[in-house]
Amino acid sequence: MLKQVWREEIVNASNIYRILGARWYAQGLFIKDTKSGHEIRAERVYRVHQGDFVYNRLFAWKGSFALANTDDHLCCVSNEFPCFEIDATRIDPRFLWCYFSRGNVWKKALGLSVGGTPTSRNRLNESRFLGLEIPLPPLPEQRRVVARIEELAERIGEAQGLRQQSFDEVQALFEQCRATVFQAASGTSVVALEQLATLERGKFSHRPRNEPRFFGGNHPWIQIAEIERSNKFIREWNTTLNDDGLAISKKFPKGTVLVSIAATIGATGILAFDCCVPDSIVGVTPRTGIDSEFLYHYLGYVRTHLESVAPQSAQKNINLQILAPLPAPQLPLVEQRKIVAYLDQLEVAVDALANVQGETAAELDALLPAILDRAFKGELV
């Protein structure tokens, strides 16, 4: 059903070549790079034609199988990407692609691959690939199966889109409710944020930051990723500083609200332990009579604003001069806590929906592999 083709071409230094890669999990070919001939180290490249079946020897076990489409026509691959013409009188190309879109086949590819390491340098050579067996019903039945798979895949895609849309709408509703709360609160008394809290930038003066001699002590140290994962309270850390690291960093006490000011702007969380942070994070320590959870929700409310005012540079960032004068509502502590209770209740509801949505997403993601398995067992009606 397949005939290997080598459309070999000597690399010309003055030519421009579009180089293809193959995505994992049968997600198709893509243009990995566009290079002039003098930038290509290899002496030869190999042309791909529309309709070719292509795979990556090195990552066949990851499902790097693909059908070349019109966008891929006349692009190039290295010799790690065998190309095959398909005998369309015997097998529908889409039927072939569906077969190689299955996890069971990728496991077979792993078992047939050989190399220096069990996975990262394994290669599936062409003779073993061509020795794989595939169920081959008559062409009309192949086309019926493919049409049914595509119909069900479209329905699954629609369901996934609706699921994501509903979650996005609920999240947007929460943000709208939080905005309404703070806009209403701003109708009373508004002061600069620096009057409600002390704002101090974190510190880690040494570059690069991963210098081993500063790490491995007793002082927890986090970066922006831990704030993003925190879901309000930052309770975990993966890295610690020793006393030398503490000397070039800054430690903030439990209860400090942290907000990121570089790359990921406005990620916010409340420290549940004393912790050191780098200069990409600002510590917001509430003054007497100010609730840290109130500040957390306020900073969440202004996050969109922070994104919009961050200078457009190679890496977005803001500074204390932007944060300190932000207009914040000045409310009695009891009113702050009422707002916190209301917004926390809403967040609990959103989190519960997110959990349900996650379960639904996993179920939907499992549907297409199950459909493909049934199709190649002859059970798809």
**pLDDT by residue (tens digit) across 33-65?**
999 999 999 999 999 999 999 999 999 999 999
CATH code of 295's domain: 3.90.220.20
* Residue 180 maps to a domain: no
Domain total in the chain = 3
pLDDT digits (tens, 9 = 90+) for 306-364: 776 666 554 556 788 889 999 999 999 999 999 999 999 998 888 888 778 777 877 87
Examine the pLDDT at 262 and tell me if it is beyond 90.
Answer: no
Same domain, 80 and 7: yes
Same domain, 322 and 339: no
pLDDT digits (tens, 9 = 90+) for 229-251: 988 999 999 999 999 999 999 99
Same domain, 202 and 288: yes
CA separation for the pair 268, 230 (Å, rounded): 8
Distances, alpha carbon 255 to alpha carbons 281, 299, 338, in Å: 15, 15, 19
Listed range (110-119, 212-221, 299-308) with the worst mean pLDDT:
110-119
Q: What is the pLDDT of residue 271?
A: 96
Same domain, 66 and 162: no
More confident of the two residues 260 and 314: 260
* Residue 95 maps to a domain: yes
pLDDT digits (tens, 9 = 90+) for 136-188: 999 999 999 999 999 998 998 898 888 888 888 888 888 899 999 999 998 77
Same domain, 283 and 377: no
* Residue 154 maps to a domain: yes
Same domain, 370 and 243: no
Same domain, 219 and 348: no
* Residue 44 maps to a domain: yes
Can you say how many angstroms the Cα of residue 284 is from the centroid of all Cα atoms in its chain?
Answer: 29
Same domain, 201 and 324: yes
Q: What is the pLDDT of residue 310?
A: 62
Same domain, 6 and 60: yes
Task: Give buried/exposed letters for 140-149 (b at 16+ CB in 10 A, else e).
Answer: eebebbbeeb
Same domain, 341 and 253: no
Q: Rounded to two decimals, what is the model's pTM?
A: 0.65
Containing structural domain, residue 246 = 189-330
Same domain, 218 and 297: yes
Same domain, 64 and 154: no
